[in-house]
Copies of this chain bind each other. A is one copy, B any other.
Amino acid sequence: MFKKILYPTDFSGASEKGLEYIKKLKEAGTEHVILLHVIDSRTLNEVRFYDGLEEKLKEETREDMAALAKQISKLGVEVESHIRVGVPFREILNMEKEDGDISLLLLGSHGKSNIEEMLLGSVTEKVVRKCTKPVLVVKR
């Protein structure tokens, strides 16, 4: 039931929380974790004048991702990592659809952009509303 987890992360404080839960969910059958980080294309569009920003962000993301994947791997769970550019909640829902096998989404309650979230609803809220799989929302 919790065999394959989709774990979108922005590497904010919630990441370590997420790890604790993966450890526990392993006892309930988790075998595989899909890590996903979405680089927000809207942010990229705002700062296009800064040449090479996208490449720089991707490079940083690859490092953060590798570190997190290593920690999850140590728990004895298989990990795969994906970095995408787009609108975060849409890319998360796309990934859920593409991989028909996902049994649970693991999400932090708050990401990085707190003021925007209070006005527009968080990525988490949009995903909880629109996804088809169960979601475990972990509080910071």
Contacts and interface: CB of A to CB of B under 8 A. Distances in A.
A136 B133 contact: no
A129 interface: yes
Contacts of A133: 139
A138 B128 contact: no
A138 B103 CA distance: 11
A135 B125 CA distance: 12
B135 A136 contact: yes
A57 interface: no
Interface string A124-140: 11001101111111110
7 contacts: A1-B21, A27-B27, A125-B128, A131-B139, A132-B139, A136-B137, A137-B137
Interface of A: 1-2, 20-21, 24-25, 27-29, 109, 124-125, 128-129, 131-139
